Chain A
Amino acid sequence: MIATVQAVSDVQILDMEQIELREVNATLQRAPSTNYTQFEILNTRGSHAIAVGLDAEIEVIVKGSTGYYCAGMNQRATVHVTGSVGPGVAENMMSGTVIVDGDASQYAGATAHGGLLVIKGNASSRCGISMKGIDIVVHGNIGHMSAFMAQKGNLVVLGDAGDALGDSLYEARLFVRGSVKSLGADCIEKEMRAEHLDILADLLARAGADAKPQDFKRYGSARKLYHFNVDHADAY
């Protein structure tokens, strides 16, 4: 067993001033074989790869800010970061929930297949790049090239979106309440139908976002890049 880990009530405290990152992640990853379901990570000091590769229905609170790839590859776990996160938060998440109270740096939720990522501050560039089924709700703004080549899932933005939103988009749904600086290639505004309002209402409720679905606009793929257009042969 790990001598340096101290139990306080039912929450297992993992203090990174005393425990190496590798041991923190190993402890979380072997949670299914223990009785613990709640963890708190302290003194993160912007470290990389905190709470990655989890695969159990556990709750992890990360106190403070983190560096690259926090909660990457998450399955089933709930990871709540009280500060801001560096690049690649919840990258390739499969399921579960990741909540960030602060801001997220670039490529938040990149390539993720499932789960819910909630960013209560702003997300910078390339948010949801190549997303493959994740739901992302950003309470603030998102940066340029967000949802680039996004394939599946929902990206909800309560604030504004930067340049080239949804460039080369496949079938992900993008909902933006504020302004969109510019749309990327093949991304267009689409009709908001009743089914979309229902999806949006559910996501906003799950993300604790105080916003009305009817205030959003929906963007999606014009599907013109799906097939080669012979009229463009001269361009190659």
Chain B
Amino acid sequence: MCGIVGLFLKKEDLRPRLGDMLADMLITMSDRGPDSAGIAIYGDQGDGHKITVQSDTPDTAFDGLDTALGDRLGAPVTMKTNDTHAVLTVPAEALEATGAFLEARGLRIMGVGEAMEIYKETGLPRDVATRFGLRAMGGSHGIGHTRMATESAVTTLGAHPFSTDADQCLVHNGSLSNHNTMRRVLAQKGFAPKTENDTEVAACYISSRIAEGANLGEALSGTLEDLDGFFTFVMGTKTGFGVVRDPIACKPAVMAETDDYVAFGSEYRAFAGLPGIDSARVWEPEPATVYFWER
């Protein structure tokens, strides 16, 4: 089991409420996944690229990190710390050097992007949402996951969402059976997964397809051909939001759409607090069918 939630806003005026709505959806899915929780949130775009990093010892790891990184890059760096996570904003051309610098300091890179920030930790979804102040976060769209681990250990890095390229993130309910074979294929393409987790393999697969020129819909269609196992995937990109279920479709999924938003939930319960849900179009996504929205 696992729980997935997603919210893609169609109107600007709801942006300040994105985190609040996502938090309710996420917490409702706690009994589907009490091990860990995470969210990817697509917020305001600044002048540079955002890198979300995590540390188990944030007090020491983040102390002076922005200054040290700025000195190394010879460029302005801003840092926003949030519990065990910090979001560093650096110039686009400094991304590669920044990644090497951060990894050398033992920091875990959660994700990179112009709009996307990722926050994930082990623990109950309510506690994870509280420690990161999810309710106060605004943005255009976001994806969340509550995890009940099956394929790999309960760790921060094993939590979802997985981000394997800029502004891309994936959450998954299910388990893949050909992920070890795919690991080798993807490593040859330059998209080697960093963890033992099967979902990260799917994220790498989708990122590799997008890097080859596929759009979000085409990349998600590819999962039906190339990935074996059970999956309901929800994917975020800088401007898009997509959903696909495997052909057997035993992992639950429900969607809702109004003039204001598109929402995804593992169960209808996740929608119960959304504005206008009583008059929303609510449907179960068809198996082996890709749904995606781009703004």
Give the interface of A toward B (CB within 8 A).
45-47, 64-68, 84, 86-87, 102-103, 105-106, 124-125, 143-144
Residues of chain B within 8 A (CB-CB) of A65 are: 268, 282
B282 contact from A45, A84, A144, Cβ within 8 A = A84
Provide the B231-272 mask, 1 if CB < 8 A to any CB of A, else 0. 000000000000000010110101000000000000111111
A106–B249 contact, CB under 8 A? Answer: yes
B252–A45 contact, CB under 8 A? Answer: no
B283–A103 contact, CB under 8 A? Answer: yes
CB distance from A160 to the nearest CB of B (A): 12
Residues of chain A within 8 A (CB-CB) of B282 are: 65, 84, 102-103
Residues of chain A within 8 A (CB-CB) of B268 are: 46, 65-67, 84, 86
Most chain A beta-carbon contacts within 10 A, residue among B250, B278, B284, B286? B284
Q: Contacts A86-B252, A106-B250: A46 and B267 contacting too (C-beta < 8 A)?
A: yes
B284 contact from A64, A67, A124, Cβ within 8 A = A124
Most chain B beta-carbon contacts within 10 A, residue among A64, A102, A125? A125
The SS class assigned to the A binding surface is loop
B254–A105 contact, CB under 8 A? Answer: yes
Residues of chain B within 8 A (CB-CB) of A46 are: 267-272
CB distance from B25 to the nearest CB of A (A): 11
Q: A86-B252, A87-B252, A124-B284 are in contact. List 5 more A-B contacts (CB 8 A).
A: A46-B272, A67-B269, A103-B282, A105-B252, A144-B249
Within the assembled complex, what's the spacing in Å between the Cα atoms of A46 and B256?
Answer: 13
Give the interface of B toward A (CB within 8 A).
247, 249-250, 252, 254, 267-273, 278, 282-284, 286-287
Residues of chain B within 8 A (CB-CB) of A144 are: 247, 249, 287
CB distance from A116 to the nearest CB of B (A): 23
Within the assembled complex, what's the spacing in Å between the Cα atoms of A220 and B252?
Answer: 29
CB distance from A82 to the nearest CB of B (A): 11
CB distance from A139 to the nearest CB of B (A): 15
Within the assembled complex, what's the spacing in Å between the Cα atoms of A87 and B32?
Answer: 14
CB distance from B1 to the nearest CB of A (A): 12
B287–A125 contact, CB under 8 A? Answer: yes
B283's closest neighbor in chain A, by CB? A103
Within the assembled complex, what's the spacing in Å between the Cα atoms of A124 and B253?
Answer: 11
Within the assembled complex, what's the spacing in Å between the Cα atoms of A220 and B67?
Answer: 74
A125's closest neighbor in chain B, by CB? B249
Report, nearest first, the 3 A-B pairs whose CB atoms are least far apart. Answer: A46-B268, A46-B269, A45-B272
Residues of chain B within 8 A (CB-CB) of A103 are: 282-284
A45 contact from B247, B269, B283, Cβ within 8 A = B269
Residues of chain B within 8 A (CB-CB) of A66 are: 268
Most chain A beta-carbon contacts within 10 A, residue among B250, B268, B271, B278? B268
Residues of chain B within 8 A (CB-CB) of A143 are: 249, 286-287
Residues of chain B within 8 A (CB-CB) of A87 are: 252
A-B contact pairs, 16 of them (CB 8 A): A46-B269, A64-B278, A65-B282, A67-B267, A67-B268, A84-B282, A87-B252, A103-B282, A103-B284, A105-B252, A106-B249, A124-B249, A124-B284, A143-B286, A144-B247, A144-B287
